[in-house]
Amino acid sequence: NLERYAEFGRRIVTDGMTGFLGPLAGLAAGLVTSRTPWLVMVPCDSPFLPHDLVMRFLNVAAQYDSPLVCAHDGNRLQPVFSLVHTRLLADLTEYLDAGERKIDRWFDRHQWRPVVFAEHNDIFFNVNSPHDLQQVEARLLAD
């Protein structure tokens, strides 16, 4: 779908790895090409991100001097909603090169901090089917 993505006029970053390596491969590619010390990772199929997501991530990272901050829904970690410092790139590359893919295991290698979004549980809704898309469209029209 790279040609379709290009229609948005934004820079496209691909992980360049063979096979499906999951979200950590995308994170690694983002960290390699990041123009800033921090990178925000969110799923492309989650349309209800709160406007203060990045600021809340940055505040917790600064408060705890943590290179890895992750959303939590009040019950469990939501690791694909994260703020990651580029200094973790070498460790992430080593982890992937060792054949590891589990995102929560990689997080556990670092002193990550949670940001609880219990009041916004819909931010973790993702669009996986035509029915899900209809739900999103109906909600947006109602707002």
Q: Which domains does the chain have, with CATH numbers?
A: 2-142 (3.90.550.10)
pLDDT at 143: 76
Whole-angstrom distance, CA of residue 136 vs CA of residue 143? 11
Mean pLDDT of the chain: 92
pLDDT at 57: 98
Fill in the amino acid letter for 9: G
Order of strands, edge to edge, in the sheet holding 38-41? 38-41, 77-85, 68-72, 113-116
Provide Rg for the chain, Cα atoms: 16
Burial of 122 (0-12, 13-18, 19+ CB in 10 A): middle
For the record, the structure tokens of 78 come out as 């939501």
pLDDT at 142: 87
Whole-angstrom distance, CA of residue 49 vs CA of residue 125? 9
In this structure, are residues 55 and 138 in contact, taking their beta carbons and an 8 Å threshold?
no
37, pLDDT greater than 90: yes
Average pLDDT over residues 88-102: 95
Q: What is the pLDDT of residues 44-89, one digit of tens each?
A: 899 999 999 999 999 999 999 999 999 999 999 999 999 999 999 9
pLDDT at 121: 67
